[in-house]
Amino acid sequence: MFYTIIGTQWGDEGKGKIVDWLSSKADWVVRFQGGNNAGHTIKVDNSIYKLNLLPSGIIRNKKCVIGNGVVLDPWALNNEILNLQKQGIKITKKNLFIAENVCLILPIHKIIDEINETSRGDENIGTTKKGIGPAYEDKVGRRAIRLCDLSSPDLLKKKLNKLINFHKPRLIENNIKIDFSLIYNELLTIAKTIIEYNSPVWKQINDAGEKGDIILFEGAQGSLLDIDFGTYPYVTSSNTSSGQIFSGSGFGIKNNHTILGITKAYTTRVGSGPFPTELNNEIGEHLGNKGQEFGTVTKRKRRCGWFDSILVKQAIKISGITDVVLTKLDVLDELEVIKVCVGYKINNNNFDYLPFSESLQASIEPIYESLPGWQTSTFGISSWDNLPVNAKKYIEFLENTIGLKISIISTGPERLETIDKNKLLDTI
Does residue 339 interact with ligand GDP by CB under 6 A? no
Query: What does the buried/exposed string (b/e) look like for 54-77 if buried means 16 or more CB atoms within 10 Å of the residue's CB?
Result: bbbbbbbebbbbbbbbbbbbbbbb
Q: How far is the CB of 220 from ligand GDP (least distance, A)?
A: 7
Dist. CA 307–CA 56, nearest whole Å: 26
Nearest residue to ligand IMO, scored by beta-carbon proximity: 271
Strands 47-51 and 349-351: unpaired
Determine, following the binding rule CB under 6 A, whether residue 269 of this chain makes contact with ligand GDP: no
Is position 273 an interface residue for ligand GDP (rule: CB under 6 A)? Answer: no
Q: Is 418 helix (H, G, I), strand (E, B) or coil?
A: strand
**Window 34-93: residues binding Mg ion (CB under 5 A):** 39
Confirm or reject binding of residue 128 to Mg ion (CB under 5 A): no
296 binds Mg ion (CB under 5 A): yes
In Å, how far are 68, 182, 219 from 19, measured between CA atoms?
20, 39, 9
The CB-of-374 to ligand IMO minimum distance in angstroms stands at: 27
Q: At its nearest, how many Å lie between Mg ion and the CB of residue 196?
A: 28
Nearest-approach distance from CB 331 to ligand GDP, in angstroms = 6
Indicate the Cα dihedral angle 274, 280, 285, 288, nearest 10°.
0
Q: Which residue from 327, 361, 378, 401 is in contact with ligand GDP, where contact means CB under 6 A?
A: 327
Cα 193–chain centre separation:
26
Q: Residue 71: name the closest of 229, 220, 274, 243 by CA.
A: 220
383 vs 361: CA distance, rounded Å: 39
Dist CA 351 CA 142 (whole Å): 40
> Which partner, Mg ion, ligand GDP, ligand IMO, none, binds residue 63 by CB below 5 to 8 Å per kind?
none
Q: Which is nearer to Mg ion, 101 or 236 (CB)?
A: 236
Is residue 219 part of the contact set for ligand GDP (CB under 6 A)?
no
Please report, for residues 146, 207, 283, the alpha-carbon distance to residue 203 in angstroms, rounded to integers and kept in the order given.
18, 6, 49
- Among 15, 167, 269, 339, indicate the residue that binds ligand GDP (CB under 6 A): 15
- Does 296 bind ligand GDP (CB under 6 A)? Our answer is yes
- 31 belongs to the binding site for ligand GDP (CB under 6 A): no
CB burial of residue 183 (10 Å; 0-12, 13-18, 19+) = middle
Rounded-to-integer distance, Cα 229 and Cα 163, Å: 30
Q: Which of 2, 3, 6, 12 binds Mg ion (CB under 5 A)?
A: 12
17 binds, among ligand GDP, Mg ion, ligand IMO, none (CB under 5 to 8 A by kind): ligand GDP
How many separate helices (H) and strands (E) can be counted in the chain? Answer: 13, 20
User: In whole angstroms, what is the distance from residue 23 CA to residue 17 CA?
Assistant: 10
Is the CB of residue 97 less than 8 Å from the CB of residue 65? yes
Q: Pick one of ligand IMO, Mg ion, ligand GDP, none as the site partner of residue 126 (Cβ within 5 to 8 A by kind).
A: ligand IMO
Q: Has 40 been annotated as catalytic?
A: yes
242 contacts Mg ion (rule: CB under 5 A): no
Residue 331 binds which entry of ligand IMO, ligand GDP, Mg ion, none, with Cβ cut-offs from 5 to 8 Å by kind?
ligand GDP
Would you say 101 or 268 has its CB closer to ligand GDP? 268
Catalytic residue among 12, 308, 323, 420: 12
What 3-state class would DSSP assign to 349? strand
The residues binding ligand IMO (CB under 6 A) are 7, 10-12, 37-40, 125-128, 130, 132-133, 220-222, 225, 236-237, 270-271, 296
108-138 in b/e form (b: 16+ CB < 10 A) is bbbbbbbbbbeeeeeeebbbbbbbbbbbbeb
Pairs from 424-427 (Cβ < 8 Å, separation ≥ 24): 424/22, 424/323, 425/21, 425/22, 425/24, 425/25
Q: 20, 27, 40, 207: which is the annotated catalytic residue?
A: 40
Taking CB under 6 A as the rule, does residue 328 contact ligand GDP? yes
If one asks whether residue 330 binds ligand GDP (CB under 6 A), the answer comes out as yes
- Residue pair 215/251 in contact (Cβ under 8 Å)? The answer is yes
Interaction with ligand GDP in 384-413: which residues (CB under 6 A)?
410-413
69 binds, among Mg ion, ligand GDP, ligand IMO, none (CB under 5 to 8 A by kind): none
User: Which residues form the catalytic set?
Assistant: 12, 40
Report the interface residues with Mg ion, using CB under 5 A.
12, 39, 296
Report the interface residues with ligand GDP, using CB under 6 A.
7, 11-17, 39-41, 43, 296, 327-328, 330-331, 410-413
